[in-house]
Amino acid sequence: MFSSKKKRLEKKVLTFSQRLKKYITKYIFVTFGAFIAAFAIEGFLIPNEIIDGGIVGISMMVSSITKFNLGVLLVLFNLPFLFLALQKMGKSFVITILYGVTMLGIFVNLINFHVTESDLLATVFGGITLGTGVGLILRNDGALDGTEILAIRLAKKFGFSVGEIIMFFNFFIYTAAGFLYGWDSSMYSILTYFIAFRVIDIVMEGLNNSKSIYIITNFAKEIGDAIMKELDISVTYMKGKGGYSGKEQTIIYCVVSRLEITKIKNLIRENDSSAFYFVQDVHEVDGVRVKKK
- Model confidence pLDDT, tens digit, residues 236-271: 898 887 777 778 888 999 888 777 888 888 888 888
What is the 8-class DSSP label of residue 287? S
Q: How many residues are recorded in the chain? A: 293
Strands (E), the chain: 210-216, 236-241, 248-256, 276-282
**Calpha distance 105→51 (Å, rounded):** 16
Delimit the domains of the chain by residue range.
Answer: 2-205, 210-282
Our separate counts of H helices and E strands in the chain read 10, 4
Say if residues 61 and 180 touch (Cβ distance below 8 Å). yes
- Residues of the chain falling short of pLDDT 50: 1-14, 290-293
| pLDDT of res. 234 | 86
- Model confidence pLDDT, tens digit, residues 23-51: 888 889 999 999 999 999 999 998 988 88
- CB-based contacts of 77-83 (< 8 A; 24+ apart in sequence): 77/146, 78/145, 78/146, 80/146, 81/55, 81/146, 81/147, 81/149, 81/150, 82/146, 82/149
Task: Quote the pTM value.
Answer: 0.71
What CATH code is assigned to 210-282? 3.30.70.120
